[in-house]
């Protein structure tokens, strides 16, 4: 990579990211600059170690891109768009949301991820960041995760997820999402938002479907989702932040195993993820009348929709109608020592949300304060770092 070809880190398509106002501007810029500089140096060195990992774009995604991170700025997600030629093959035999990639280069998801991991490790061995910055690397699901430890920052431990991605021609729109594309003008979204989503297109990220030999990649709508999420009203965005705090609280609750007396965590973390909540919000956003609700009433709508999804075990992917996000939840998560029935745990989880809906406080100040990325979280981090 030529020195003049600097990676466009922190790019958000067609719009500047609105970061979180509760942070002092200087602190925010310091965290952003350190992450940006560290990741940029690491990726540039990775390209030197293995030229096959040349990136034509690096895109910030997830809650940071949406301006919806809660508590601390300690997690960053990037799509690393490979500069490689390929063809897309859509096949009716594939699961919805998957495509086959045809290329002269070896683009099998698992082997490519391992190869990227090895290149990153070599890059770190040959790169001198500073004596104050420690970076560790590990493979996590479909990404490679960096942990940047920098005691000079107010948020000293920062996790960075690096996800390899392929970008098809902007004219491409996946067959599995044709329904959304064809009906998008009727679903309540402003015309300019629809145009921006389609103009930015989709990406492909590594994922392995068991039993398939061809290099399959999953269609990612993360950039499209970020575009829509950034255009929500402040009331909708505030309700989503509060719901993320509620979700974290619910995960900490437990139930007693009647046979052993052991306290067992509920599997709220499996039945309700941030992505489930985001998907519900995207669906609700199609009803323009709901956007006028104040945040507590909107939060009630989210909780009611969540309960309906849990009770029916059905939540349709926003862009891919053939995907039910709950279809894979067939048993308790591995590692849970539970002698009771799955149904009892399932009922317990639903009961948590029913109780929450019934007893939702009129004043959401406490929850909102906990959701804020603000001084308290920063100062506590400084004291414990």
Query: Which domains, and CATH codes, for the chain?
Result: 25-222 (3.30.460.90), 232-373 (1.10.1410.40)
249: helix, coil or strand?
helix
Are 165 and 83 in contact by the 8 Å Cβ rule? The answer is no
Q: For residue 17, what pLDDT band results from cuts at 50, 70 and 90? A: very low
Give the pLDDT score at 3: 43
Give the pLDDT score at 136: 78
* Residue 112 or 188, more confident: 112
Distances (CA, A) of 114 to 85, 117, 123, 138, 269: 20, 5, 14, 10, 28
Give the pLDDT score at 128: 75
Give the pLDDT score at 349: 80
Percent of the chain whose pLDDT exceeds 70 = 73
Taking residues 195-219, what's their average pLDDT? 80
Residue 71 sits at φ, ψ, to 5 deg, of 70, -80
Rounded CA separation 145/113 (Å): 11
Inter-residue long-range contacts of 362-367, CB under 8 Å, 24+ positions, other chains counted: 362/296, 364/242, 364/295, 364/296, 364/299, 367/242, 367/245, 367/246
Q: DSSP label at 95?
A: P
Mean pLDDT, the chain, rounded, equals 78
* Residue 129 or 239, more confident: 239
71 pLDDT above the threshold of 80: no
**Is the model's pTM score more than 0.95?**
no
Number of helices followed by number of strands (H, E) in the chain: 13, 11
Taking residues 327-348, what's their average pLDDT? 59
């Amino acid at each position: 990579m030529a020195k003049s070809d600097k990676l466009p880190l922190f790019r958000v398509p067609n719009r500047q990211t609105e970061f979180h106002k509760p942070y002092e501007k200087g602190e925010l810029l310091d965290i952003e600059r350190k992450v940006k500089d560290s990741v940029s140096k690491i990726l540039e060195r990775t390209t030197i170690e293995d030229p096959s990992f040349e990136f034509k774009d690096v895109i910030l995604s997830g809650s940071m891109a949406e301006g919806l991170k809660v508590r601390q700025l300690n997690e960053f997600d990037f799509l690393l768009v490979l500069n490689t030629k390929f063809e897309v093959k859509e096949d009716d035999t594939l699961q919805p949301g998957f495509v086959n990639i045809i290329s002269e280069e070896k683009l099998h998801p698992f082997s490519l991820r391992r190869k990227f991991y090895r290149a990153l490790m070599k890059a770190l061995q040959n790169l001198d960041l500073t004596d104050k910055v420690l970076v560790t690397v590990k493979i996590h699901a479909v990404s490679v995760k960096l942990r940047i430890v920098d005691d000079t920052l107010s948020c000293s431990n920062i996790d960075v997820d690096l996800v390899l991605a392929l970008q098809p021609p902007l004219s491409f729109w996946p067959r599995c999402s044709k329904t959304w594309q064809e009906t998008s003008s009727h679903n309540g979204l402003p015309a300019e938002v629809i145009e921006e989503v389609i103009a930015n297109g989709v990406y492909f990220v590594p994922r392995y479907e068991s039993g398939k030999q061809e290099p399959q990649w999953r269609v990612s709508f993360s950039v499209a989702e970020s575009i829509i999420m950034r255009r929500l009203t402040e009331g909708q965005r505030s309700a989503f932040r509060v719901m993320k705090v509620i979700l974290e609280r619910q995960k900490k609750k437990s139930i007693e195993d009647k046979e052993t007396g052991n306290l067992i965590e509920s599997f709220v973390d499996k039945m309700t993820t941030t992505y489930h909540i985001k998907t519900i919000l995207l669906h609700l956003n199609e009803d323009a009348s709901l956007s006028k609700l104040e945040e507590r009433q909107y939060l009630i709508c989210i909780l009611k929709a969540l309960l309906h999804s849990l009770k029916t075990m059905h939540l349709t992917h926003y862009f891919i109608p053939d995907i039910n996000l709950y279809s894979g939840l067939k048993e308790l998560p591995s590692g849970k020592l539970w002698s009771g029935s799955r149904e009892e745990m399932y009922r317990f989880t639903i009961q948590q949300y029913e109780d929450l809906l019934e007893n939702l406080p009129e004043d959401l100040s406490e929850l909102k304060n906990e959701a804020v990325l603000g001084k308290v979280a920063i100062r506590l981090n400084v004291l414990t770092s």
